[in-house]
Amino acid sequence: MFRTTAYRHPSEFPILLLTFLISIAVVILSAFLTQCLSLLIVVFILGMSIVSSRSMQAQLMRKAFLVSPERSPELAKVVQVCEKRLQPGSLDVYVVRENVVNAYTFGLSKTKTIVLYEPMLRIMSRGELAFVLGHEMGHVSLGHTWLNTFIGGLAGSPSPFGISYIMYLVFQRWSRACEYSCDRAGLLACGNLKLAVSALVRLAAPKIQTQAEFEQALTMIDAQDDAFVNQLAEMFQSHPMIIKRINALKEYAASPDYASLQANVDRNLQA
């Protein structure tokens, strides 16, 4: 049987090569433009974060008060002890008069800001507040305030093929790891595992008043990771489940690394 391809037009190969080269060029150009756009978006997000940070600071000045020895001597002492232990650098602590049990840290300038909500001063002991303050100071010391902005900007940039969703999940995983790190800082600040655990329980169940209610809340928290739906939901959250944070703290408190670090930060009080 006779078989041939001699009828191929002589222009086919040159045009095929040209088409291939143009296609490669388009892919490279598209990737370059996408990366440029992503970079511009990240820069825009960073710029907006700076503006937002300054705006938040201005809003705080209107509805919160700065913790100082004159205005709130007891809380100022707790802040001072935590600062001496952890040496986080320049920061201000504000108290907001809103019915919320929470604390957070922000700031891209040299002086960072820690915000406490007033109800925490009523439901927590000095040791528990030291854990919360130490946790937030951990965010400052570890650079999370600006890393969160930068990495969050990268995770939020547009990406093809659903990669942005993967980046979001990875960012949330990193955020949860940061919380474990800062819980360790909180433990070093308060120097007492029992108080650290108690503070976490009160954050999850702020209305508890008696020891029986505390134990009941702890039992409910202990069952969090038993449900698959909670395990799944955690993937999309910036904070780990409270029970995982408690267990991680217990494991860390039993380690020789913790004992060594606690002794060192305690010596800072004598400096």
pLDDT confidence of residue 155:
46
The confidence score (pLDDT) of residue 19 equals 66
Q: Please choose, from the candidates 84, 85, 103, the residue with its C-alpha nearest in 3D space to the C-alpha of residue 93.
A: 103
C-beta separation of 137 from 91 below 8 A: yes
Q: Which of 137, 203, 147 lies closest to 171, judged by CA?
A: 147
- pLDDT tens, the chain, 271 aa long: 545 444 444 665 666 577 667 777 777 776 676 666 666 766 676 676 667 666 766 776 778 889 999 989 999 999 999 999 999 999 999 999 888 899 988 877 788 889 999 999 999 999 999 999 999 999 998 888 877 766 655 544 455 555 666 777 777 888 888 899 999 999 999 999 999 999 999 998 888 888 888 889 888 888 887 778 878 888 888 788 999 999 999 999 999 999 999 999 999 988 7
Please tell me whether residue 42 adopts helix, strand or coil conformation. Answer: helix
Instruction: Give the pLDDT confidence score for residue 5 in this predicted structure.
Output: 43
pTM above 0.85, yes or no: no
> Is residue 123 a contact partner of residue 202, using CB atoms and an 8 Å limit?
yes
Percent of the chain whose predicted confidence (pLDDT) is above 70: 76
Write out pLDDT tens, residues 136-178: 999 998 888 877 766 655 544 455 555 666 777 777 888 888 8
CA 144, 146, 147, 149 dihedral sign is positive
Contacts 24+ apart (CB under 8 A), 265-271: 265/85, 265/86, 265/188, 265/189, 266/85, 266/191, 268/84, 268/85, 268/87, 269/81, 269/84, 269/85, 271/84
**Contact yes or no for 68/75 (Cβ under 8 A):** no
- What percent of the chain is predicted at pLDDT more than 90? 39
